[in-house]
Structure 1
Amino acid sequence: MHSLSSLLSRRWVWPQPRGTTGLVATAESGAGHTWGAIAPWGWTLDPSGDWYYWWISIMALPILYNWIILICRSCFPDLQEQHTVLWLSLDYLSDTLYLLDIAVRLHTGFLEDGILVRDRGRIRRRYLRSTSFPWDVATVLPTDLLYLRLGPGVPAVRANRCLRVPRLFEAFDRRETRTAHPNAFRVAKLMLYVFVTIHWHGCLYFALSSWLGLGADAWVCPNASCPGFARPLRQYLHSFYFSTLILATVGDTPEPQREEEFLFVTAGFLLAVLGFATITGSISSVISNRNAADAAFYPDPEPVRHYLRARGAGGRLARRVARWHQHLRAQRKLPAEQAVLQHLPRGLRAEVAASVHLPALRRVGLFQSWERGVLQQLVLRLRPQVFGPGEFVCRRGDVGREMYFVREGRLAVVAEDGITQLAVLGEGLYFGEISLINIKGEPPLPRHSPPAPPASPQPPASPGNTSGNRRTANIMSIGYSDLFCLSKEDLAEVLAEFPSARAMMEAKGRELLLRMGKLDVHAEAAAAAAAEEAECRTQALETALEGLQTRAARLLAQLESSAFKLALRVERLECQLRQRQSAGGSGPAGGLGPPRAQGPSGVQGPTKVTLTAVAK
């Protein structure tokens, strides 16, 4: 019984074309779940897998059949009568495919947090509440019951089958994403639209001609009396040719004779001038502009395809690359947001980035207590990255240069075997901060040491971190995960401007290291003791330096006072000498002697000769 229950609780993956995973059957564990409960309805389609891609490509055929054949059968009665059995068989085959498509949509998963949801109950509720469900139901309404009253010659009662056209557009979009020649596919799609437009116009032209009377005038379609016009094929080709002349505005058509003919031709000309010619003339520029706009937001997959093809690295790797690009476009992910906002001023760019990413950062536990200014600086430096299913974000032992914040999706902390899941990281969580914050380096400089040159700041050192700046776990993306990446240099710049945030992050990193057993307490204590000893020595040197500065200031003051007194004494002696010279009549009249030198305090001192005389 144990082996049987374990067998029933397994997840069964059906074989996929070319090695992809697109169709999955899941046996849910729990009471009451048996194999009969999951077969044959226990399967789920991956919308990005090959099975869904081929199914929607098949669904394009009945939709095109109804859009092309129904109008033709309604306007050409002979065509309907000659092949009634064939048309009824194709009609009910298309109806069967329509019903199967509804069943497929009831089992097509959807992405939530980057992970494919396979819960059939949630899938059904999501589809039944969508806007597509009423239209899908309208396309399979049994309007064929009107055949019982009107007869099988009125195929117009099946016009509701044309409402499934959104699936056709989805099939075209999928094909355009996967094809190796998207430009050629766009041209082919344009030609298909042109053909369908002319086809409908030609069928309506023949219906109007039948109502007015075949061969009644030169403008309407000739009747069966004309050679070859008894066959429906000839009638259709003539109508198609006539409509091509009208819609292409070539001219060379018979002039209308009746009011209905004038109205039909006028409507055709308006369609050609206002719609048909405009679309045909501008579709190339629209495609080029769209490609240019997409190139500004999303990476171009063509260079990668050419590179893989040139290096012979196709197969599964090429399909993974294609699915990654398809996910970016389908989910509107922008891997180069900074390039989009680079033309904005810094203040406005900060506001735009904050309005987009600030709610996601607020959910990160590390940032909930940070001030808004720190978060605004962070959002300018965050780089979005998208990881696919099974892709490793980081491996244990790698050098850590970034930290990551989970914006959307789920990631698993796996063991060395890459399979065993130890923990699951969801939205709002972060990892890699220890590798950035606790990096071994030189101890910090003393407080009063001269500042270092303005080089790029480095995160604070932590000598007790036994792992250094190495990754301590293997992180793998479970589904498609959207992450924010913050580099070491950007984090250091932000933390240098906000010391409080830096202290909080250091405390959080130390707490995590203690919890993980990666913090060497003895080494940390030794480093703290060394730092304390260095601080004490620094304080002692500062005290001694202050004493020396005080003594030097006193000596300088005494020196200035002595010099000032000496200058005053010398001045008095010079005055006495001049008085004696004036009284004795010696020396030049009125002469004051040679110029006197300046004293240390700006007072004029005696000359060398005067001082010599005084000394004698």
Structure 2
Amino acid sequence: MITKLDLRNFYIAPDAPWKLRWDGAVLAGAVLATVLAPLNLAFDFSDSVFFLLVDIGITLLFIADIIILFHTAYVDKRRLVTDKKCIRMRYLKGWFWLDLFAAVPFFLFAGPAYLTINRVARFARITRILKLISGARVIGRLKKTKINPNVMRLALMIFWLLLAAHIIATGMILVGGVPADLPDGMRYLQAFYWTVTTLATVGYGDITPDRNNPLQLLFTIITQFIGVGMYGFIIGNISTVIANIDIAKSQYREKMERINTFLKYRNIPHDLTKRINDYYDYLWESRRGYDESSVVDELPFSLKIQVSQELHRDIITKVPLFKGANHSFIRDIILNLRPVVYTPGDYIVRKGELGEEMYFISRGAVDVVSEDESVIYATLQEGAFFGEIALLLSSPRNATIKAREYCDLYSLDKRTFEKILEKYPDFAKEVAKMAEQRRKETEAAAKKKKS
């Protein structure tokens, strides 16, 4: 995204959407170049028009990337640096030289296979592997996405293993380790097969180096050393990735083991134990075991406000009591909501109790029932609210409300509400009017019932 029209101060924002897509295209070009360079070294594609066009395209892509990077701002200590001199110096001291070697137009040196300059150009193309190293900045940004970091780590490990196997396989072809009279595809497949069996320390022995060829023997020895180290690396990393692929679930299982051990030690009845386990299972399924309030409370105030508004705005705006309230009042209400969970059959409020909280239903359903629970007057679903009279009047509950299923609710207590009203005297007057109106309606209903 170009944020300045003045060409003297022109810079490119590093997080601009088109810049992220461009970096992805450059990374794809680097992967393609890294795959093609060893193949060209093994099979010599100098006469291939397709390879020439691809090589030209990759070169132009890398050259354009260098030009773009000379104008791309960067973030230093959470501050966006747009100074042209600082951008140039940082790039020249960083990835520039790797990018420059990768952008050399090797296609200009193409010619008959017997020319020395052509052979040198084929070997020099291997330097384009360095572009993958500079592509680490793109991979670093991918790790900040919603992709599980352990899944990303596993994918990168598989990619580097396949790339290493590809390069070793082409090396085996180059030293003459597979018959030259086979088609190119079969030669590569046999070389790759030999590489995999060697790196995996399986070593079937059906494809072996010529014992009278020192180059092939030396290449095999080096590959075996690489295979031993790579085998240990793979085992260690895969076990770590599998263990950490879902840290939250591992922590949840550990927590449940502790809880169940305690319940068993204290001889808690089976039915109650099952209810406790069902409750924690519900917390895992609905919240991945996280306590919402503790997570939000750890955020700085500005972020806490934004997250709370995203979570609760729709619920609050449906309540008639808060219609017409200003933004600051709604913000204070939202910040003081507290999440609560009720299991099926739990009493949320009982008729006759003195009300101190009102509730907002985020998930689940509750039944409004008669005092003897023989009649269900209504069922309230997600987005509904109840108990608002508790915020207006210190009067007993006029109904019993039970959780029909697992319910995620948010509560707002009377004391907190009154403290908030002290900051907004104008709205407090409106609330007082509502309370007086509700008191009259309640008294009229009571007289009507007696008569």
TM-score by length of 1: 0.38
From the CA coordinates, give the structure whose radius of gyration is larger: 1
TM-score by length of 2: 0.50
